[in-house]
Chain A
Amino acid sequence: MVDHRASLAVFKLASCDGCQLTLLNCEDELLAVAGKVRIAYFPEATRGVLRGPYDVALVEGSVTTPADAERIGEIRAQSRTLVSIGACATSGGIQALRNVGDVEEFRSIVYAHPGYIATLAHSTPVAQHVAVDFELRGCPVDKGQLLELLTSLLAGRHPRISTASVCVECKLRGTVCLPVSRGVACLGPVTQSGCSGLCPAYGRGCYGCFGPVPGANLASLAHQLAVLGLRPEDITRLLRTVNTAAPEFAAESARQEMMSR
């Protein structure tokens, strides 16, 4: 019998495994999803491998080595729809902190024989190398958004993923604004939603897991953070975590770093 189900492949570049784990963490939906697709390549879950081309490829991780720069081209060539998932794949991830450091020095700090290590000077998102059909943000991605993405792709419609800011989620959740009420530094106004306003609900400021919201006004936020008492070096660090190389965050952190010198 011919299997007409769409084939799904899950690939990993430089990353922590957390985004593909989010798929395995869909305990209630996993077997249903698995019934709707042919899992053609997902080494973390199965030894079985089907040849491409694949209908849907999910790519976790950033490009950090010459080998992965080649591999992402091969993945693109055998994937009808390619979706990058998570902060590493969409902005370069936390390992993009190398982009503002000296990678040669990094290599010698961690490894006794730096010559054994093949690495690129920058950690870059998938879209910087190949065309990407959709980007799912987050560190890690949100389970609900991941399921919405998969079901919409299987149904042949565009995924309904909000690009509102975390502030909107706090309002929906009824969380009192932390910067306003308690003077807590928060990236919520410039960060895309997806986490359901998680950190503010736990009493801590947003630290930017879902990356910059479209039209983010970083200059205004940086001014407000300075009013709350943050020094330029503090603002620099706040913007340089899991989405450090996202263009809006990178530009503002570079500006703040200049001011702190």
Chain B
Amino acid sequence: MTHRSKAGGRVLSVDALARVEGEGAMHVRIDGGAVTDVALRIVEPPRFFEAFLRGRAWTEPPDITARICGICPVAYQMSACAAIEDACGVSVPTEIAALRRLLYCGEWIESHALHIFFLHAPDFLGYDGAIEMARDHGDIVGRGLAIKRAGNALLTVLGGRSVHPINVRVGGFYRLPGSDELAGLRPMLLAARGAAIETVRLVAGFDFPDFTQPHEFLALRPAEGRYPLEAGSIVTSGGLAFDVSAFDTHVVEEHLERSNALHARLHGRGPYVVGPLARYSLCSDLLSPLAATAAAEAGLGVECRNPFRSIVVRAVELVEALDEAVRLIDSYAGAPAPYVEVPARAGTGYGATEAPRGLLYHRYSLDAEGRILDAKIVPPTSQNQASMEADLRAFVQARLDLDDDELTRQCEMAIRNYDPCISCATHFLDLTLERTAG
């Protein structure tokens, strides 16, 4: 951290915002007691996935787009499969859909445990990171590692490995898991589920700034049954409800000079939020009884509008994902075949699923031989970027009396509320806080 003085003002900067997936920059400018500019700069080098998908075969996006993000590759594989199967007019059997949901649970468990224990909790407990935190709170970090291990074990059995799983293909899987393999995971998942319930209690006891935001929430909501994950249509807290295929007519993306990520807004309405707060607020009635009880004990209502409490919602979703994984394993009775054929045809397909950080949208247009003519991918972090900036602006304005160190620390925390994945949105997070006297 470096401090520099300028005549008549103060500038404070942190070279790289730590404990986020990737790197980016935040700039806050304060003139005369008012926040005059807030900008989240994402300068992660662009990697051009949408461009080099052109000309590739319709079978390739699950392997290619997984490489956008090492933390949530399954989300990319699931949205890619959904979009391509939509383009080809194929729907997968319920057994395959259930296995996809199970695989996705593994990713939610691994990703949420990483964020809660490694990236976010150190802010609340006053440490630079989880490894430093482990010296005083070995039990807490140990619990986080145990939960994460369970998620990764599930990914490894069903996906082959936890980072960039190899077992996903358009139409299903290359190989079905044996019932015994899945049953073998059960004790670990049950133990992790207990640890997740403890985690909800732990994080519910953290101190949260009194801060709520009026953002519009957006999430998938399945037509029937369960908490949103691998399927559903889109709903918002402002009352919009539309099919995934209408995403492009409701969401506009802007490219701003300061950022290598595109900013998404709801057409005619403004910024919106995806992710745990949005899912919970729009779908808390769909939680399993166990997760709903944990949420109630933690004092969460039917919706949650304090971004700092997202750590509590993430812990509740951890209970949900672990409970759902156990349920899916218990009801697994094999499948007729590992995959269904997905013959190529000309057309456009749309897919959206709930990545750990929020809705992830894919769209592909294919020619008759299955060559990709056009691809569009909208990751959660670029959808949240405008709201993150709005949060920062409101948050800093109410806390101008804090010294630079403390204000910077709290700003970082406000950014981490969103678990930004800058690899996804493209990434270099460099936080500067600039004040001029006035």
Interface residues of A (CB under 8 A from B): 12-22, 24-25, 27-28, 30-31, 34, 39, 42-49, 64-65, 68, 93-95, 97-98, 101, 103, 105-107, 109-113, 116-117, 119, 139-140, 195, 198-199, 201-204, 207, 209, 237, 241-242
Contacts and interface: CB of A to CB of B under 8 A. Distances in A.
Contact of B131 (A14, A34, A203): A34
Given A98-B52, A106-B52, A18 B70 contact: yes
Contacts of A204: 166-167, 169, 174
Given A16-B67, A43-B23, A64-B45, A24 B114 contact: yes
A242 B67 contact: yes
Residue with the highest number of chain A CB atoms closer than 10 Å, among B51, B64, B260: B51
Contact of B167 (A14, A48, A202): A202
B153 to A, nearest CB: 10
B51 A13 contact: no
B131 A39 contact: yes
Residue with the highest number of chain B CB atoms closer than 10 Å, among A110, A199, A209: A110
14 contacts: A15-B70, A16-B70, A17-B70, A18-B71, A19-B70, A25-B162, A44-B21, A107-B48, A109-B54, A110-B49, A112-B255, A198-B160, A199-B174, A202-B166
B22 interface: yes
B116 interface: no
Interface of B: 15-23, 44-52, 54, 56-57, 60, 63-64, 67-71, 73, 110, 114, 118, 122, 128-132, 134, 141, 145-146, 148-149, 152, 160-164, 166-167, 169, 174-175, 253-257, 260, 262, 338, 412, 423
A191 to B, nearest CB: 13
A112 B257 CA distance: 10
Contact of B46 (A20, A48, A119): A119
Contacts of A39: 129, 131
Residue with the highest number of chain B CB atoms closer than 10 Å, among A16, A64, A93, A103: A16
B50 A31 contact: no
B205 to A, nearest CB: 23
Nearest to A244: B52
A48 B70 contact: no
A31 B60 contact: no
A117 B42 CA distance: 11
A91 to B, nearest CB: 13
Residue with the highest number of chain B CB atoms closer than 10 Å, among A47, A140, A195: A47
B45 A119 contact: yes
Listed from nearest, the 4 A-B pairs whose CB atoms lie closest are A18-B70, A46-B129, A106-B51, A48-B128
Given A15-B423, A16-B69, A202-B167, A44 B19 contact: yes
Nearest to A98: B48
A18 to B, nearest CB: 2
Contacts of A103: 48
Contact of B161 (A68, A101, A113, A198): A198
A199 B48 contact: no
B260 A117 contact: yes
Nearest to A119: B46
Contacts of B122: 46-47
B160 A199 contact: yes
A139 B23 CA distance: 20
A1 to B, nearest CB: 15
Contacts of A43: 16-19, 23
A7 to B, nearest CB: 14
A143 B306 CA distance: 37
Contacts of B167: 202, 204
A139 B67 contact: yes
